[in-house]
Structure 1
């Protein structure tokens, strides 16, 4: 009987450990050191924009993404992801140089989409559970982003 109790306790400890590890998993980190999960965010939808400094349309849309962020930051999270592999210092410099007012992703541990985009700019819309609901290619406006999100929410 004692061996059964010890075995059950060990199994329970193992299961709790696996649950804790999965619960604490970080999907990505921003340049300011904040850690995120795609499925967290207090029920907020997410906008993830891939950009590059050499991409003129990416830089042209940045003021619209800042405007979107300022108008909807309480209900929707927005993140910028560099298409180019840059270190945290380089990303922080880009954030300041182009006045990116929302979080810039420093490291990606997992992607809710299959692979990085093949063209820029590309924007992903994720629901509150972290599921990709829409992929948008080309420049986006603050108005188009909120219209797309509102349409997706009504489905």
Structure 2
């Protein structure tokens, strides 16, 4: 009974966090950052809206290496794990988003490999037909640098390398697309 209550409470907290992220008003006076598209003038690196996204370099699932930033395009950085139920819910929409915007936006699917099993990662990628690059955060250093506290967590970054949106949890595809368009400046 106690376990069921704890699980219910965790689910309710996650749902509230997703709702709050998707519906939070743009009110600088209340301490919420304005939702204007930050520019290159924001030079400090910090994993928050209005700051430059921290750079990183990681191994890929295929054995290569990938780096962010990569060429001055907007970017989507998604932190995930194969054991994460919400990541499974989000995966089809993330693949769809990548397929729709891969020519205009860089995508990075950063697996929390330090908490995951590489065989499970491969199975997840195959099951959801990931076409986007899968990066392995084997020591958790990039997740720590981005202050990731739950998965999925997604950062939307404009062409200047400035974070324009952060989402913890799952949002509908239309909301993901709206945030990509914000990163594109549309």
Q: Same fold (TM over 0.5)?
A: yes
8 Å CA contact retained: 2:80, 2:153 = yes
Q: CA RMSD in A?
A: 3.0
- Contact residue 156 and residue 165 of structure 2 kept, 8 A: yes
Deviation of the 1:113 alpha carbon: 7.6
1:88-107 matches, within 5 Å, as 90-107=120-137
Which residue does 1:83 correspond to in 2?
112
* Whole-angstrom CA distance in 1 between matches of 2:102 and 2:59: 18
Identify the residue that residue 63 of structure 1 maps to in structure 2: 92
TM-score, scaled to structure 2: 0.57
Q: Deviations over 1:56-103 (max 9, x none)?
A: 111011000010011111011222122341465553333113322211
**Higher mean C-alpha displacement, 105-114 vs 87-96:** 105-114
Residue among 167, 170, 175 paired with 1:136: 167
Q: Which has the larger radius of gyration?
A: 1
For the pair 1:38 / 2:65, whether they are aligned, the reply is no
Q: Using the TM superposition, give the Cα deviation of residue 144 of structure 1 relative to its aligned residue in structure 2, in angstroms.
A: 1.8
- Of 52, 74, 81, the match for 1:52: 81
Structure 1 stretches of 5 or more lacking a match?
1-24
Tell me the number of residue pairs that the alignment of Structure 1 and Structure 2 aligns. Answer: 130
Residue 118, structure 1, aligned to residue 134, structure 2: no
* Aligned partners of 2:112 and 2:137 also within 8 Å: no
Cα distance in structure 2, aligned partners of 1:43 and 1:27: 16
Q: State how far apart, in whole Å, the 1-side matches of 2:88 and 2:167 are.
A: 16
TM-score of the pair, normalised by structure 1: 0.66
Per mean C-alpha deviation after superposition, the further-off stretch among 104-113 and 43-52 is 104-113
Structure 2 residues without counterparts, runs of 5 or longer: 1-54
Q: Once the 2 structures are TM-superposed, how far is the Cα of residue 152 of structure 1 from its aligned partner? A: 4.1
